[in-house]
Each structure stands twice: as structure tokens, then as C-alpha cells.
Amino acid sequence: KRLTWGPHLKSKRKSLNSRSHLLRPVLKSKLPLHNKILLFKTMLRLIWSYEAQIWGCAKPSQLKTIEAFQSISLRIITSAPWYVSNLTLHKDLNIESVVNLVKTYYKKFNSKLLLHSNPLIANQHTVTIPKNPPRHLKRRWCLGRNAGKNRGNHRVLSLDSFPSHYPFPS
């Protein structure tokens, strides 16, 4: 079975939802805003942030489930209407986005790995955050110097095989 972030983040989202439903009456109450934010940071954010150090290699689409939960929670806390953007909520409340928080945790974690006494652990250190390359479609053709030749199931094309009136940038 493959180890992926999808099922793990879904289970985190379910546990966040259950905790949020328990805290909803308190978050919707007339408590001062700074107390509600403190509750959010201590009771909800800690569920997912303790393991965010290793989420540096998770795809942004998978992190969006946690980001969506955070935005929904901030909306409940502030009773913000639908036309207030999530970015505005994050900026006004001084709360970092999930992606930025994961990056900072990842950088801190990897800087600590470098100073570890065990050489096997110290070798796990990486300087950069792993990139999440976009998916590339497999093309049935490519522009190359072997124009007109068949390569397996793919025919390789060159610019010479197109009509002269076909617009190509020069």
C-alpha cells in the first residue's frame, strides 16, 4: 500500500471538524475576539500543526483541506459575511496561512536536523523545501530533430513538417 498524505489529511480534517463542533457555541459566543483567536490557536490549530514539520512534501491541493478548515473557523469566529475574502480575514487577524506555516515549520525542523548528534539523522537534512512539480501530460508528439521518424507509438514532428502559413513565434 502506498504512503500518501491524502488519507492522513482527511482523518485530520475529520478530527478538526469534530473538535470544531464541540467548540462552536464558544466560538460563536460574545467572547472578546482575542479570546476566540486564542481558543482557535490552542484547541484547533494544535491538532494539525504538531506534525506540520513533515508536510513540506505534501501537495498544495492536499493542504487545501486544512486551509479551508482554517478559513471556515476564522469566518465563524469573526461572524464575517460571505463577501469578505479569506486573505482579508487572515491579514486582519494576524494568522498565517497553512502553507506558509508549514513552510516555516519545515525550515525549522530541517535546521535542527543539521545539528543532531546522530549522523544518520543529520544526513536527512535538506536545504530547500521539496517542490511540488505540476503534473505533465504525456504528449503523443514532440518537436525534435528526428522529424518524421516513428518512435514506438509516437510520431516525432519538426517545425519543417508544418505548412509555411502556420503561425509559429520566431
Q: Above 60 in pLDDT, residue 170?
A: no
Grid cell at residue 7: 488519507
pLDDT at position 72: 94
The closest of 31, 37, 142 to 90, measured between CA atoms, is 37
* DSSP 8-state symbol, 49: H
Q: Which residues contact 100 (CB under 8 A, 6 or more apart)?
A: none
pTM, full prediction: 0.67
For the stretch 85-138, pLDDT in tens is 999 999 999 999 988 888 888 888 888 888 888 887 777 766 555 555 555 555
Q: What is the DSSP string of 68-88?
A: HHHHHHHHHHHT--TTS-HHH
Q: Where are the domains of the chain?
A: 5-122, 137-170
